[in-house]
């Protein structure tokens, strides 16, 4: 295969080609006009056109052809005038036809030459070494990358045998490779070649046979990629792997190789619905359990085998869930560290031996960076059975302190239950007393009695639902996640506080923006938040002589969040109290437990929202609650 190069394809300069083309055309004209020769002398203009074509310029070909045609016509007119003479006219037409055909062929050859030159330039842009050879093995094209890599310029490489020039060493017999090439049309393999400087290169070779229009092989195009550094890096990697394997097997610390790629895919596909990953996993322990099964063990060292009472590593080709106990909590921390991109995680847990006995261990899990890091997670495990036994005496001495801590925790939960249940119980008592008063009239008002009994039943159910929710929370049952209309929740919450507001002469004003999208959450929890905020607003104005007004407004924030504000006309909250307003057990009310607002904020944050308060002393207090709209209804 020969690919022309316009920079070196002509030994005659463009100016010289133009000059000799013009000289030849003038000579043919003079001979045609001044000599008595009767032959088609003008046909020799073809040679002048071919000389012009050697400049590889399209305009030169057209100018030369136009000039030769004009000279042919001028010579005919000069010799014969306008009288038609059969034989000279025929010769003139033949000459013009020859000029036209030659011009057309020259232009086609020029276009083909330009295409081949463009292809050659593209091959020269490649970073791979590319050269072409004929059937005898002689090089007839040599690109720039080959010049730079092998050190041989194209002028030295063209016409020489590629195998001899590069001293190529093949992985198989040369004859067998050539036979396979001719049979399939392609061959790929790794060979070694030497540069002009004597450096040995390892290259990946790809050969393709070139065929003529009859399908006969006429040459071979070879593309070579230098992989010397890659092969050297691979060899170094193999040596490193061998050293690692020796350390892996000889270590007295248990080492576990794990593949967390499936864990990564699961975390990326996880829908936390706006909550933090830690909160989401805490509410969905099944996700953590599933991730334990997805973290696959690929290898363990002999020290780890001995730690769990195994004879070989084959029993470990399973998942991490096989080693961890039912009550393990360390995997959650490791999972969060892995999701947050931390390089390692340390902890303490118990692993389960094959005989069922539990072994206390300290561990460090490393999460390597890089594209394959998830497949090469390493866990280093140390048996701390003896240390655990030494700590038992200390743990026994600390039993009383631990018991006190548990009692304090139980007391906090009990306070929450009492605070949540107290409001419906108080409403039940109030409604019951009102019902008794209607019954004790001279003429009992049964309609009002039925209404108050309905309130008693509703409040009783509300208390039951609160207890049920708290029990579900204690059992780590996931909260209800339903689509809710805020107008319905407000209607239910205001109905629950209506009697207390009426008793204290509190006016409740509600401004609701129409057409608000639904939110997603737990109806009872959100209803209880609004009830607490409304009750607090009403109580903040107790003993106030002026008007008592609570304003409840709802609106839309940027099409993504619902905002609810509860504003009272009371004395407001002092700056020092405002900073501690949401702290557990902090209260400004006589007889209060200080859990209401703390519970409200926790509930709102669990729904992906925020609860804040602001106040100017003497101008009342405003509580601002934001909740995200359901994702199915938010604006794109």
pLDDT band at 402; cut points 50, 70, 90: very low
pLDDT at 317: 67
Distances (CA, A) of 20 to 40, 55, 57: 21, 12, 15
Residue in 602, 460, 473, 478 with CA at minimum distance from that of residue 532: 602
Average pLDDT for residues 594-623, to the nearest whole number? 82
| pLDDT at residue number 468 | 66
Task: Determine the average pLDDT of the residues in 303-312.
Answer: 80
608 pLDDT higher than 50:
yes
Contact in structure between 494 and 550 (CB atoms under 8 Å): no
Q: Is 270 left (phi over 0), alpha (psi -120 to 50) or beta?
A: beta
Burial of 209 (0-12, 13-18, 19+ CB in 10 A): middle
Mean pLDDT value of segment 457-469: 76
| Residue 428, pLDDT above cutoff 70 | yes
320: closest CA among 291, 357, 348, 341?
291
Is the pLDDT at 28 greater than 50? The verdict is: yes
Q: Looking at residue 82, what is its pLDDT?
A: 61
> Please, which residues have CB within 8 angstroms of residue 6's CB and are 6 or more apart in sequence?
56, 113, 117
Q: What is the DSSP letter of 38?
A: -
Residue pair 537/496 in contact by the 8 Å Cβ criterion = no
Q: What is the mean pLDDT of residues 234-250?
A: 72
pLDDT attached to residue 626: 92
User: What pLDDT, on a 0 to 100 scale, did the predictor assign at position 243?
Assistant: 73
Query: What is residue 563's predicted lDDT score, i.e. its pLDDT?
Result: 93
Cα 67 to Cα 40: distance, rounded to the nearest angstrom: 17
Q: What is the pLDDT of residue 557?
A: 82
**148 CB-contact burial (10 Å; exposed 0-12 / middle 13-18 / buried 19+):** exposed
Residues 6+ apart with CB under 8 A from 377: 257, 258, 259, 260, 295, 338, 365, 366, 367, 368
The rounded distance, in Å, linking the Cα atoms of 605 and 456 is: 31
Question: At residue 310, what are phi and psi to the nearest 5 degrees?
Answer: -110, 155
pLDDT: is 478 or 367 the higher one? 367
Q: What distance in Å separates the CA atoms of residue 192 and residue 203, rounded to the nearest whole number?
A: 6
The mean-pLDDT minimum among 177-181, 333-337, 472-476, 536-540 falls in 472-476
Distances (CA, A) of 73 to 19, 41, 332: 22, 12, 97
pLDDT computed for residue 65 by the predictor:
82
> Does the pLDDT of residue 38 top 80, yes or no?
no
| Residues 585, 596 contacting (CB under 8 angstroms) | no
The mean pLDDT value for 129-147 works out to 85
pLDDT in tens, 582-591: 777 777 766 5
Q: How far is CA 225 from the centre of its chain?
A: 31
Q: Residues of 610-626 as b/e, b for ≥16 C-beta within 10 angstroms?
A: ebebebeeeebbbbebb
pLDDT of residue 499: 65
Round the average pLDDT of the chain to a whole number and report it. Answer: 78
Cβ–Cβ contacts within 10 Å for residue 467, how many? 14
In 369-503, which ranges are E strands?
377-383, 482-484
Q: Please state the φ and ψ torsions of residue 423, each to the nearest 5 degrees.
A: -65, -50
Number of CB atoms found within 10 A of residue 100's CB: 13
Q: What is the pTM of this model?
A: 0.33
Environment class of 90 (CB within 10 Å of its CB; exposed 0-12, middle 13-18, buried 19+): exposed
More reliable by pLDDT, 30 or 421: 30
DSSP for residue 129? E
SS3 516: coil
> What's the average model confidence in pLDDT over 547-562?
87
pLDDT band at 476 (very low <50, low <70, confident <90, very high): very low
Cα 398 from Cα 435, distance rounded (Å): 54
Position 554 confidence tier, pLDDT thresholds 50, 70, 90: very high
| pLDDT above 80: residue 116 | no
| Least confident range of 196-200, 413-417, 463-467, 489-493 | 413-417
pLDDT of the residue at 416: 44
Contacts with 144 (C-beta within 8 Å, 6 or more apart), sequence order: 124, 125
| 294 C-beta neighbours (distance < 10 Å), count | 18
pLDDT value at residue 395: 41
pLDDT of residue 414: 54
pLDDT score at 636: 43
> Is the pLDDT assigned to residue 404 strictly greater than 70?
no
Assess contact for 455 and 502: CB atoms under 8 A.
Answer: no
Task: Report the 3 state secondary structure along 330-365.
Answer: HHHHHHHHHHCCCCEEEEEEEEECCCCCEEEEEEEE
Based on the number of CB atoms within 10 Å of its own CB, is 81 exposed (0-12), middle (13-18) or buried (19 or more)?
exposed
Return the structure tokens found at 241.
Answer: 């792997």
Least confident residue range of 138-147, 395-404, 431-440, 559-568: 395-404
| pLDDT over 90 percentage in the chain | 4
Q: Please give the radius of gyration of the chain, using alpha carbons only, rounded to the nearest integer.
A: 47
| 355: CB partners within 8 A, 6+ apart | 309
| pLDDT value for 44 | 77
Distance CA(54)–CA(59), nearest Å, equals: 12
Inform me whether the pLDDT recorded for 574 exceeds 60. yes
pLDDT in tens, 376-388: 888 888 888 877 7
- pLDDT at 602 > cutoff 60: yes
């Amino acid at each position: 295969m020969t690919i022309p190069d316009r920079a070196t394809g002509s030994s005659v300069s463009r100016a010289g080609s133009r000059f000799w083309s013009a000289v030849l055309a003038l000579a043919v004209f003079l001979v045609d006009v001044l000599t008595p020769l009767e032959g088609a002398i003008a046909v020799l203009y073809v040679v002048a056109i071919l000389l012009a074509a050697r400049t590889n310029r399209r305009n030169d070909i057209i100018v030369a052809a136009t000039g030769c045609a004009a000279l042919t016509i001028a010579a005919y007119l000069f010799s014969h005038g306008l009288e038609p003479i059969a034989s000279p006219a025929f010769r003139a037409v033949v000459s013009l036809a020859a000029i036209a055909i030659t011009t057309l062929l020259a232009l086609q050859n020029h276009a083909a030459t330009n295409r081949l030159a463009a292809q050659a330039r593209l091959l020269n842009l490649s970073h791979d070494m590319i050269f072409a050879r004929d059937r005898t093995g002689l090089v007839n094209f040599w690109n720039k990358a080959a010049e730079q890599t092998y050190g041989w310029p194209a002028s030295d490489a063209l016409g020489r045998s590629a195998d001899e020039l590069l001293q190529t060493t093949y992985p198989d017999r040369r004859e067998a490779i050539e036979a396979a090439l001719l049979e399939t049309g392609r061959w790929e393999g790794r060979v070694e070649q030497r540069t002009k400087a004597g450096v040995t290169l390892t290259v990946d070779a790809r050969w393709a046979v070139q065929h003529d229009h009859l399908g006969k092989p006429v040459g071979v195009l070879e593309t070579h990629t230098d992989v010397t550094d890659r092969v050297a890096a691979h060899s170094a990697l193999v040596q490193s792997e061998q050293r690692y394997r020796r350390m892996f097997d000889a270590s007295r610390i248990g080492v576990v190789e794990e593949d967390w790629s499936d864990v990564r895919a699961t975390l990326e596909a996880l829908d936390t619905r706006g909550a933090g990953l830690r909160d989401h996993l805490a509410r969905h322990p099944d996700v953590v359990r599933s991730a334990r099964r997805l973290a696959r063990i690929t290898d363990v060292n002999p020290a780890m085998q001995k730690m769990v009472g195994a004879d070989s590593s084959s029993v470990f080709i399973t998942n991490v869930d096989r080693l961890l106990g039912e009550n393990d909590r360390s995997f959650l921390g490791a999972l969060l560290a892995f999701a947050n991109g931390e390089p390692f995680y340390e902890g303490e847990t118990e692993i389960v031996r094959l005989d069922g006995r539990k072994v206390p261990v300290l561990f460090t899990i490393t999460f390597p960076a890089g594209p394959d890091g998830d497949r090469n997670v390493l866990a280093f495990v140390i048996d701390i059975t003896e240390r655990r036994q030494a700590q038992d005496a200390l743990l026994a001495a600390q039993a009383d302190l631990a018991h006190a801590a548990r009692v304090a925790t139980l007391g906090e939960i009990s306070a929450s239950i009492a605070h949540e249940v107290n409001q419906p119980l108080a409403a039940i008592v109030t409604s019951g007393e009102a019902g008794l008063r209607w019954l004790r009239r001279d003429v009992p008002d049964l309609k009002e009695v039925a209404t108050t009994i309905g309130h008693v039943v509703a409040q009783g159910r509300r208390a039951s639902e609160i207890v049920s929710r708290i029990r579900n929370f204690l059992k780590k049952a996931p909260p209800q996640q339903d689509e809710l209309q805020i107008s319905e929740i407000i209607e239910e919450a205001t109905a629950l506080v209506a009697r207390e507001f009426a008793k204290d002469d509190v006016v409740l004003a509600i401004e609701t923006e129409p057409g608000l999208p639904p939110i997603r959450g737990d109806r009872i929890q959100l209803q209880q938040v609004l009830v607490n905020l409304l009750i607090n607003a009403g109580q903040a104005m107790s003993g106030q002589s002026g008007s008592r007004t609570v304003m409840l407004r709802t609106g839309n924030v940027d099409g993504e969040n619902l905002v609810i504000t509860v504003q009272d006309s009371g004395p407001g909250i002092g700056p020092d109290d405002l900073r501690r307003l949401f702290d557990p057990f902090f209260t400004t009310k006589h007889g209060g437990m200080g859990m209401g607002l703390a519970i409200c904020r926790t509930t709102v944050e669990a729904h992906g929202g925020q609860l804040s308060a602001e106040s100017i002393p003497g101008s009342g207090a405003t509580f601002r609650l934001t909740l995200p709209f359901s994702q199915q209804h938010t604006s794109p």
